[in-house]
């Protein structure tokens, strides 16, 4: 199968990427400003605790760091304001997230369904018709040779009763012991097919399974 692109979603992502790229410089400036503020605060804490533990006078250095922290907080506030303004100023784009969902539900999903449904429906209908046709063939053969099978059973019993045979050799109906798909008879074979289908839905692939890309056109007849 060939996967179809949902173009409106791609366009929506592209416009959002462009907007995010335009906003990135302001976001990065804010991130850098916050990182610098954290560095200064860490530097202040380290300088203060070190001066206390070593009994050193670091008052001037601490004042300088504290001034830098105050200035950097102003920078952070300004960068936050710039980012907020830029976020408001940049347009969201012509395509909204609501447009993307609405178009998906009203158009794109139906386009995929128009391709998908006939593909699987034709196969399922063919599978159903073939299985039912096999059962009809079984019934036809079973009925056609029913009288003969019964007569052969009676002759078998008579042979045993008259002493012509020491054992009763079973004269089964021709369809009873016919091996179909490794099963004794069509009915058990059909049950086996249904079991294969059930197993496949749980991830178990049947032996000798062959994928059919398209349901073939078969000869139809009446029974």
Confidence of residue 169 (pLDDT cuts 50, 70, 90): confident
**Is there a domain that residue 85 lies in?**
yes
**Is there a domain that residue 101 lies in?**
no
Beta bridge partners of 35: none
**Is there a domain that residue 20 lies in?**
yes
**Residue 127 burial (C-beta neighbours within 10 Å; 0-12, 13-18, 19+):** middle
Please answer whether residues 103 and 192 qualify as being in contact, where contact means their C-beta atoms are separated by less than 8 angstroms. Answer: no
Mean pLDDT of 8-33: 94
User: In Å, what is the CA distance from 188 to each residue of 87, 134, 136, 145?
Assistant: 69, 12, 14, 19
Is the pLDDT confidence value at 216 over 90? no
Looking at the structure, do residues 86 and 131 belong to the same domain, yes or no?
no
Looking at the structure, do residues 86 and 141 belong to the same domain, yes or no?
no
> pLDDT for 58-91, tens place per residue?
999 999 999 999 999 999 999 999 999 999 988 8
Please answer whether residues 174 and 153 qualify as being in contact, where contact means their C-beta atoms are separated by less than 8 angstroms. Answer: no
Q: What does pLDDT average to over the chain?
A: 92
Distance (Å, whole) CA 59 – CA 154: 121
How many domains does the chain fold into?
A: 2
> pLDDT for 100-133, tens place per residue?
999 999 999 999 999 999 999 999 999 999 999 9
pTM: 0.61
Domain carrying residue 128 = 121-201
Q: What whole-number percentage of the chain has pLDDT above 90?
A: 75
**Is there a domain that residue 218 lies in?**
no
């Amino acid at each position: 199968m060939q996967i179809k692109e949902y173009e409106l979603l791609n366009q929506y992502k592209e416009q959002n990427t462009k907007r995010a790229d335009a906003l990135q410089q302001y976001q990065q400036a804010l991130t850098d400003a916050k990182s610098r503020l954290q560095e200064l605060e860490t530097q202040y804490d380290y300088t203060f605790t070190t001066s206390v533990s070593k009994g050193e006078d670091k008052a001037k250095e601490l004042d300088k760091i504290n001034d830098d922290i105050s200035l950097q907080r102003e920078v952070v506030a300004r960068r936050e304001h710039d980012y907020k303004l830029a976020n408001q100023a940049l347009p969201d784009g012509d395509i909204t997230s609501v447009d993307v969902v609405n178009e998906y539900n009203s158009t794109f999903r139906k386009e995929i369904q128009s391709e998908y449904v006939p593909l699987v429906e034709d196969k399922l209908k063919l599978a159903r018709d073939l299985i039912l046709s096999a059962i009809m063939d079984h019934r036809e053969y079973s009925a056609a040779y029913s009288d003969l099978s019964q007569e052969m059973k009676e002759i078998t019993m008579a042979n045993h009763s008259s002493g012509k045979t020491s054992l009763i050799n079973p004269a089964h109906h021709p369809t009873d012991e016919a091996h179909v798909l490794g099963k004794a008879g069509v009915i058990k074979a059909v049950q086996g097919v249904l079991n294969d289908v059930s197993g496949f839905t749980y991830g178990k692939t049947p032996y000798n399974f062959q994928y059919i890309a398209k349901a073939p056109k078969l000869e139809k007849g009446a029974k």
